[in-house]
């Protein structure tokens, strides 16, 4: 694939001329820079399901000081296990950017990525546990605690 | 670009700091303003979070994108929440926009879901056709829930079932997206469908 092509921002939009609106365009280009133009899944497999749990490894936390920007933020946030979706929401990153970076960090041994087992949807014991757990939810919740 | 050979499993020799729960999810679908986020917020143990997922390809040529020729990707907000069932099991609830032009995103989110709840506003039945069709075609356990805005339902359920052409085996209920207990019960209906289907599969 041609995912490594440099400078996607240069040709992303013919209407953007020179430095007239660099600030406005940055959010659109930034995700490409973060992932070197790659999109989720990298063509090597399906993208990580949104509920995939990610958690920092001890090696990842030990290497935290050497990580920069979003990679640093992801590993730091993953001291507490959370889903890819929560991570994206908490760090205000695009879901697909988090997917790519999480796979990178896994490959580097800095994150453990627990892809859900596809058989879970048909697992009767899991379904029963979810049903029992949901039944225990009271008729009204008092106050929501803030996430994150 | 370097291609890193990655293992098919994620936890090989590295030591995770903490063992995460097994995640499962339900999808809450329906048109804009039908009460998806309200429903998620009524039962989630955290305030609903929002993430932006990509929609591409199927969105091409849609009116509101036609002003930016060549742009085939845009993003759409997806609200979600969660319920900790126990320390080893966590239920996520994902609210997805109901319009069929978001089909690409649905696959992305719905894959692996235990089931779906389609929320209906009887004043705008058209908005939920796509979601009903989607779950039927994907053969995903689901139920249809009429959101009783202000405690009022403007049609009787038989009329709604007929208008939506929902099969008899699909539960059709009335609920209040603002009430925790009501949302809980609606989700339980979906899970009972999923459970009975899993049991049928087991017994062949």
pLDDT digits (tens, 9 = 90+) for A73-95: 999 999 999 999 999 999 999 88
Residue of A nearest to B186 (CA): A134
Could you tell me the pTM of the whole model?
Answer: 0.80
Partners of B96 on chain A (C-beta within 8 Å) are: none
In which band, very low, low, confident or very high, does the pLDDT at B102 lie, cut at 50, 70 and 90? low
Cα separation of A46 and A39, whole Å?
A: 11
Exposure letters A91-123 (e unless 16+ CB within 10 A, then b)? bebbbbbbbbbbbbbbbbbbbbbbbbeeebbeb
Q: What is the pLDDT of residue B101?
A: 58
At B134, is the pLDDT very low, low, confident or very high (cuts 50, 70, 90)? confident
> Any idea which of A102-106, A139-143, B46-50, B191-195 has the lowest mean pLDDT?
A139-143
Token pair belonging to B54: 């990509």
**Is the pLDDT assigned to residue A61 strictly greater than 50?**
yes
CB contact under 8 A, B52 and A94: yes
pLDDT computed for residue A68 by the predictor: 86
Whether A39 shows a pLDDT value over 50: the answer reads: yes
* pLDDT confidence of residue A42: 52
Residue of B23, B51, B113 with shortest CB distance to A53:
B23
B20 reaches A (C-beta below 8 A): yes
Share of chain B above pLDDT 70, in %: 74
- Residue B74 pLDDT greater than 70, yes or no: no
Q: Are A107 and B6 in contact (CB under 8 A)?
A: yes
Print the SS3 string covering chain B. CCCCCCCCCCCCCCCECCCCCEEEEEEEEECCCCCHHHHHHHHCCECCEEEEEEEECCCCCCHHHCCCCCCCEEEEEEEEEEEEEECCEEEEEEEEECCHHHHHHHHHHHCCCCEEEEEECHHHHHHHHHHHHHHHHHCCCEEEEEECHHHCCCCCHHHHHHHHCCCCCCCEEEECCCCHHHHHHHHHHHHHHHHHHHHHHHHC
Give the mean pLDDT of B163-172. 93
Average pLDDT score over residue span B168-185: 96
- Please give the pLDDT value at position B55: 56
- Give yes or no for residue A31 having a pLDDT over 70: no
Burial string for B124-146 (b: 16+ CB within 10 Å, else e) reads ebebbbbbbebbeeeebbbbbbb
Indicate the number of domains in chain A. Answer: 1
* Residue to test with chain A: of B7, B13, B22, most A Cβ within 10 A: B22
Asked if pLDDT for residue A104 goes beyond 70, the answer is yes
In residues, how long is chain B? 204
Chain mean pLDDT for chain A: 78
Report whether pLDDT(A116) > 50.
Answer: yes
Instruction: Please judge whether B18 and A133 are an interchain contact, meaning their C-beta atoms are less than 8 angstroms apart.
Output: no
Domain assignment of residue A40, given as a range: 26-133
Give chain A's length: 148
User: Closest residue of A to B11, CA-based?
Assistant: A112
- The answer, yes or no, to whether residue A136 has pLDDT greater than 90, is yes
Q: Is B17 in the A-facing interface, judged by CB distances under 8 Å?
A: yes
In a domain, A8, yes or no: no
Q: Is the pLDDT of residue B89 over 60?
A: yes
Dist. CA A134–CA A130, nearest whole Å: 6
| CATH number at B22-203 | 3.40.50.300
| Class of residue B117 by CB neighbours under 10 A (exposed 0-12, middle 13-18, buried 19+) | buried
Please say if the pLDDT value at position A35 is more than 90. no
Is residue A17 in some structural domain?
Answer: no
The CA angle B15-B82-A82, to the nearest 5 degrees, is 20
Q: Strand locations in A64-139, DSSP E? A: 82-83, 111-114
Interface contact flag, B83 A134, Cβ < 8 Å? yes
**What is the reported pLDDT for A54?**
97
What's the DSSP call for residue A31?
H
Using alpha carbons, select from B45, B28, B37 the residue that is nearest to residue B145. B28
pLDDT at B57: 43
Cβ neighbours of residue A118 closer than 8 Å, sequence gap 6 or more: B112
**How far apart, in Å, are the Cα atoms of A6 and each of A17, A44, B56?**
19, 20, 22
Q: Per the domain annotation, does A11 fall within a domain? A: no
Query: pLDDT at position B99, please?
Result: 63
């Amino acid at each position: 694939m041609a995912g490594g092509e440099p400078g996607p921002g240069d040709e992303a939009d013919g209407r953007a001329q020179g430095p007239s609106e660099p600030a406005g365009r940055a959010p659109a280009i930034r995700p490409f820079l973060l992932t070197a133009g790659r999109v989720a899944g990298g063509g090597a497999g399906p993208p990580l399901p949104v509920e995939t749990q990610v958690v920092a490894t001890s090696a990842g936390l030990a290497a935290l000081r050497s990580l920069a920007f979003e990679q640093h933020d992801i590993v730091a946030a993953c001291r507490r296990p959370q889903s890819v979706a929560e991570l994206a929401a908490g760090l205000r990153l695009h879901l697909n950017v988090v997917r790519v970076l999480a796979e990178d960090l896994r490959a580097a041994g800095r994150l453990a990525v627990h892809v859900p087992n596809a058989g879970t949807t048909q697992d009767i014991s899991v379904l029963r546990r979810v049903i029992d757990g949901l039944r225990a939810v009271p008729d009204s919740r008092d106050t929501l605690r803030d996430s994150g | 670009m370097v291609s890193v050979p990655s293992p098919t499993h994620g936890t090989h020799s590295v030591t995770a700091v903490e063992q995460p729960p097994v995640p499962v999810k339900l999808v809450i679908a329906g048109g804009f303003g039908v009460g998806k986020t309200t429903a998620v917020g009524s039962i989630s143990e955290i305030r609903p979070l929002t993430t932006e997922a990509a929609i591409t390809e199927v969105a091409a040529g849609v009116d509101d994108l036609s002003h930016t020729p060549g742009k085939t990707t845009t993003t759409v907000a997806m609200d979600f929440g969660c319920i900790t069932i126990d320390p080893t099991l966590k239920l996520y609830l994902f609210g997805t926009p109901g319009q069929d032009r978001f089909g690409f995103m649905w696959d992305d989110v719905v894959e692996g879901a235990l089931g779906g709840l389609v929320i209906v506003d009887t004043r705008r039945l058209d908005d939920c056709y796509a979601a009903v069709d989607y779950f039927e075609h994907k053969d995903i356990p689901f139920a249809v829930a009429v959101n009783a805005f202000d405690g009022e339902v403007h049609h009787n359920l038989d009329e709604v079932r007929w208008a939506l052409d929902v099969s008899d085996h699909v539960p059709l209920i009335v609920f209040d997206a603002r009430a925790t207990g009501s949302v809980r019960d609606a989700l339980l209906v979906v899970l009972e469908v999923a459970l009975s289907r899993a049991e049928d599969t087991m017994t062949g």
